[in-house]
Amino acid sequence: MSDATTPEQKSISLGRDAWRRLKQNQLALISLCVVGAIAFVGYTAPIIWAPYVTHFSPHEMHRSFANAPPGTRDISDEYPTYDGNKDAFDFIDLDGDGYITCTRHVYADGTPGSLQCPELAMADLAASFLLKAHQLFDRARGNETPPPLHLPAAGQGDGYLTFAEYPKDDLDLPEEYRGLGLAGPDIFRALDIDGDNVLSSWELVERSRYLRYSTVPVGGGLRSYDGFVGAFDRDGDLRISRAEFPGAPELHTFVGGTDYLGRDIMTRLFYGARLSITIGLLSTMVSLFIGVLYGAISGYAGGRVDNVMMRIVDILYGLPFMFLVILVMTIVEDRNNPVIIFVLLGAVQWLTTARVVRGQVLSIKNREFIEAQRALGASRLNIILKHLIPNTLGPVIVYATLLVPAVITEEAFLSFLGLGLPDSWGKMLAEGSGIGSLTNFPWQMIFPGIALAVTLFAMNFLGDGVRDAMDPKMRGQK
């Protein structure tokens, strides 16, 4: 309180006072940091996390690595890195002319066709054999003489290719892989990195990386060599010389495993964070806009208008609003449009805001400063917008901080039912919570579950902290 007799004591605004109290609440501060971190990771996902940390984009599918557990490694399609080791060049340069040669067919009308790189294509074929070897030859123990080329059903193998299981010569291979020198004991030994006489799938993936140079461009499209050649063919002759060769692609880890399409779960989580935070904030704003206006008008008008407006709110309170949202979601044409989602979610969340604001307005509308405005001839709209609404903001902010997690839950709920956005945590949860996935690939549910729960935790704690800070009387009464 500033006072004429104590000039050294500065007056503190409500916001500053609340911030001071919030800073004393450790739990709320930690929550604030967590929310900030989640938002930061979400919004920087496309520029930092996907290209430089996880090295995977949320949409690239690693078909050979569908449902892979955390820790599985593969090369990245859209953000590949290279190890700088030139030895791999000799594997690729089959004709030994010192160049990986590509040609581009140009159509008669001048449009360029796709890039043809026979040496890289040969390498890719060999790589695809290595990635498929388990599916082709792995048998459960005790069944070591299967008929040639009999494909075991998924899960029949024991996860290791033994020396006996590995093809002895080209005739044991499917036709398309013959003539590449892929069969035989020497190759088996070359593939067996740790020398334990069995091939685990990580060994095959590690060996296959020297052979894989086709990439999918950022933003999707067909698998091609354009990315590789475009990035490293500095002199533009469509040939990669030994000096230009960047080394073999490096493997990157699926830290959170992959989903049923072989997409990196961790990267998808980061993109999901961006979506959740955005929807949470925007929907809350929409709902505040409606609720504050409705509540202020109702409270200021008073009497019969107020009565009717509040009766409407009472009635709407008892209705299952999400049903109307589901209904609208099923009929909109562009279901992947985030604008529709946040407007809809905001439009069904304004009831409590309206009540809170009305209560505030009722309590201050007959105070002197409003009377003064009336006496000065200010218009009603002017009084509501300039004087009443700003004075209700305290409780509104408190309510809004608790509304954000509620909206995030609802967005996840919609996506869980298959009506929301494809990048959402709710969608990931839905994909991961079938009985089959829960039993065999639990990471598909655990990671999005943790992400959602931690976000809601932090936001709820922060909301409680903000409420305590804005209204010390409420402290302890939850």
Partner 1 sequence: MFRFIGGRLFSSVIVLWVLVTLSFFLMRFAPGSPFDQDRKLPPAVEANKWLRFNMGMEITADVDGTIGDLQEIVPKVTMLKKGDTLGTLTPEGGAAQPILMPHDGEVVSLNVQAGEQVKKGDTLAVIPKPLWSQYIDAIGGYAKLDFGVTITSDGQRTVSEELRRALPISLQLGGYSLLFALLLGVPAGLISGWRQNSPLDHTVMAFSMFGVSVPTMVSGPILVSIFAIALGWLPPGGWEQITPEWSALQHRILPVITLGLAYVPVVARLTRGGMLEVVRSDWMRTARAKGLSEATIIRRHALKGALLPTVSWLGPGMAGIVTGSVVVESVYRIPGLAENFVKPALNRDYPMVIGVVVVYAAILVLLNLVVDLLYTFLDPRVSIDG
Which is closer to partner 1, CB of 63 or CB of 478? Answer: 478
Nearest distance from residue 430's CB to partner 1, in Å? 8
Q: Residue 75's closest CA among 235, 210, 243, 226?
A: 210
Which is closer to partner 1, CB of 190 or CB of 438? Answer: 438
CA angle 63–147–182, rounded 5-degree value: 55
> In the complex, which residues of this chain contact partner 1 (CB under 8 A)?
311, 315, 317-324, 326-328, 330-331, 333, 405, 409, 412-413, 416-419, 426, 429-430, 432-433, 435, 438-439, 442, 445, 449, 452-453, 456-457, 460-461, 464, 476-478
Nearest distance from residue 475's CB to partner 1, in Å? 11
Nearest distance from residue 454's CB to partner 1, in Å? 8
CA–CA separation, 120 and 225 (whole Å): 8
Give the count of beta carbons closer than 10 Å to the beta carbon of residue 79. Answer: 18
Which is closer to partner 1, CB of 152 or CB of 449? Answer: 449
Three-state SS at 337: coil
Nearest distance from residue 419's CB to partner 1, in Å? 8
CA–CA separation, 356 and 446 (whole Å): 37
DSSP designation for 476: T
Nearest distance from residue 449's CB to partner 1, in Å? 4
Which is closer to partner 1, CB of 18 or CB of 445? Answer: 445
Nearest distance from residue 478's CB to partner 1, in Å? 5
Which is closer to partner 1, CB of 44 or CB of 409? Answer: 409
CA atoms within 13 A on the CB side of 331: 6
CA–CA separation, 166 and 137 (whole Å): 7
Whether residue 226 contacts residue 217, with contact meaning beta carbons closer than 8 Å, is answered with yes
Alpha carbon of residue 461 to chain centroid:
23
Which is closer to partner 1, CB of 47 or CB of 435? Answer: 435
Integer CA distances (angstroms), 342 to 347, 412, 432, in order: 8, 12, 25
Nearest distance from residue 349's CB to partner 1, in Å? 13
Which is closer to partner 1, CB of 315 or CB of 376? Answer: 315
Whether residue 94 contacts residue 122, with contact meaning beta carbons closer than 8 Å, is answered with yes
Alpha helices in 76-215 (DSSP H): 88-92, 118-137, 185-191, 201-208
Three-state SS at 264: strand
